[in-house]
Structure 1
Amino acid sequence: MTISDHDLPPRLGSLTFHSPLSEARATRMVERLAAIGPADVLDIGCGWGELLLRVVEAVPAAKGAGIDINGEDLARGRALAEARGLGDRVEFVEESAFGTGRGPVDVVLCHGSSQALCDPEQPHDLSAALSELRRLVRPGGHVVLGECFWDRTPTDEELAGMWPGADEGDHTSLGALVDLAIEAGFRPAWIETATAEEWEEFESGYRYDTELWLAAHPGHPLAAETRERVDRQRSTWVNGYRRVLGMAYLTLVAVA
């Protein structure tokens, strides 16, 4: 039996942003970035680049580039750019961000993608990622970093319910995260964290289309493996990192 793309469960179609980010918070972010009048914007691990598109749309003279290694997400980004008349001002490129030479620029966006700036052969190094972000932005430029942190120290039981091999050392506290940003050469101009509602919107939206598909296609050849994957993903949240893992959104200004 041949399975076409139309037979497969949809992927992330109910998400506007690939992070726990509300419309209201995104609007405020875009307004703050547009106020500095950036000439160029770089989005690290951009996915489909919704925030990138909004910043460029808000600054008519700006150009943007989004880099990611997921071709499907990049294709979605290109389609969104064309639909908004931004195809000539925003490019989506399938490439690794590690050691990228695309800076320095006026604004760097990096939401949940700091690992893309680190050596893939080594453990995630937040200090190294922040140093890379500083390299990629001009003095006085802005970085909007979305980075996970422990809202409180997880218990052993909670860690066991998270992703495979989850460890307390996987993330820092919010205070330690901000301190690392300062050490890398930034001033933290704006510090905010995702709310419980934003997390629930994101986590439910992440699986929503697939859950509907599973309910409508219980006997599909791919239903069993899809159900196992989605059940595992949901369990890591509800039985693991819910109300334990936070998401910080830091607007960082590069020190001259």
Structure 2
Amino acid sequence: MKSPTSLANSLGRGAPGELVCALMTTDDLPPALGRHLTFHGPLSEARATRLIDRLAAGRPATVLDIGCGWGEVLLRVLAAAPDACGTGIDIETGDLAHGRELAKERGLADRVTFVAESALGTGQGPADLVLCLGSSHALCDPDGPHDPAAALRELRRLVAPGGRVVLGEGFWQHPPTQEELAGMWPGAQGGDHLVLGALVDLAIEAGFRPARIETATDDEWEEFESGYREATEVWLAANPAHPSAEETRARVDRQRSTWLNGYRRVLGIAYLTLVPVD
């Protein structure tokens, strides 16, 4: 669920509409999907507050956020744990820049570093608290299939003794039918995710004990999915003849369809708080 590219990037050099694009201001462009989200996933304010309060109570000195995006959870943990320093790593430089701006606004810039690098094999750890929220793919071989077992082994390597890992990971709420898979993302397969029990078993095999097992609710999913598209849908209603409306409309309609006709109430998100075994 990445934000779409800008119109300027979507048009090739010399493509129809290039002159129009060149004359547009930023305000003329359609808002990016997810532009107004606080968290880039189905995570409510209430759950985030409970989670962060528990993590801060452990008084971590170091926090590492894998695939941090703009680092909202990371920054909130640092605000709640004033003795902690944090590092967020991601390859999306735009998100990292936004994270740095948020850190400045909240007076946290001297306690957090945002690094543009691949998480695979990172040397940033070990840390007392490792966050990996919807980003376990960043710990897997990019040329191979998603491998949650490999990601969990990497998380075990990155957490300090006595520390905590919070993993936000997709799971099948029930094995998807072929019809449901056909409505999801291109090439969706039953092997893309595990059921919850199998996912927790993998965490235990990787050297963790699951201290807490939580899953996103329907309300959290609906708030996220609607919020992901809301600003773009409103823009499309007000700008139906805009040069980028057709391409933007197709992207939004396609993404909404994968939810409503594919993974709604089939794909879940688990929030696992994992404790490394000595």
Specify the TM-score bucket, using the shorter chain as the normaliser.
over 0.9
User: Match for residue 38 of structure 2?
Assistant: 16
Cα root mean square deviation, aligned: 0.9
Structure-1 residue corresponding to 2:204: 182
Q: Secondary structure of 1:123's partner?
A: coil
TM-score by length of 1: 0.98
Aligned match of 2:101 in 65, 79, 87?
79
- For 1:113-192, what aligned pairs fall within 5 Å after superposition? 113-192=135-214
1:64 and 2:89 aligned: no
Query: Within 5 Å, which residues of 2 pair with 1:240-251?
Result: 240-251=262-273
| Distance (Å, rounded) in 2 between the aligned partners of 1:214 and 1:69 | 29
The alpha-carbon deviation at position 140 of structure 1 amounts to 1.3
List aligned pairs for 1:207-222, cutoff 5 A.
207-222=229-244
Q: Is structure 2 residue 220 aligned with structure 1 residue 194? A: no
Distance in structure 1 (CA, Å) of the matches to 2:222 and 2:40: 13
Q: Take 2:103 and 2:44, find their aligned partners in 1: how far apart are those partners?
A: 21
What is the alpha-carbon distance in structure 2 between the residues aligned to residue 95 and residue 224 of structure 1? 34
1:86 & 1:7 partners in 2: Cα distance? 33
**What displacement does 1:14 show?**
2.1
SS of the equivalent of 1:21 reads: coil
Deviation at 1:4, TM superposition (A): 3.6
SS in 2 for 1:140: strand
Q: 1:106 aligns with which of 128, 143, 159?
A: 128
Deviations 1:136-185 (A, max 9, x none): 00111100000000001111111000000101110000000000000001
For residues 259 and 174 of structure 2, the distance between their equivalents in structure 1, rounded to whole angstroms, comes to 15
Residue 88 of structure 1 is matched in structure 2 by 110
Match of 1:203 among 225, 233, 241: 225
Deviation digits for residues 30-83 of structure 1 (CA, Å, limit 9, x no counterpart):
011111100010111111111000001101110111111111211111111110
Provide the C-alpha distance between the structure 1 equivalents of 2:167 and 2:175, rounded to a whole number of angstroms. Answer: 22
| Residues in 2 aligned to 1:159 and 1:130: alpha-carbon distance in whole angstroms | 26
Q: 2:76 aligns with which of 25, 32, 54?
A: 54
Structure possessing the higher radius of gyration over alpha carbons? 2
* Local SS of the residue matching 1:230: helix
Quote the offset at 1:19 in angstroms. 0.8
Counterpart amino acid of 2:252? V
- C-alpha distance in structure 2 between counterparts of 1:85 and 1:153, whole Å: 46
Separation of aligned partners in 2, 1:16 and 1:215:
23
Unaligned runs of 5+ in 2: 1-19
Q: Please name the residue that 2:252 is paired with.
A: 230
* Deviation (angstroms), 1:9: 1.8
Once the two structures are TM-superposed, the CA of residue 5 in structure 1 deviates from its matched residue by 3.0
Give the aligned residue type for 1:5.
T
Q: TM-score, normalised by structure 2?
A: 0.90
Residues 5-44 of structure 1 mapped to structure 2, 5 A cutoff: 5-11=26-32, 12-44=34-66
Using the alignment, how far apart are the partners of 1:217 and 1:254 within structure 2? Answer: 52
SS of alignment partner, residue 220 of structure 1: coil
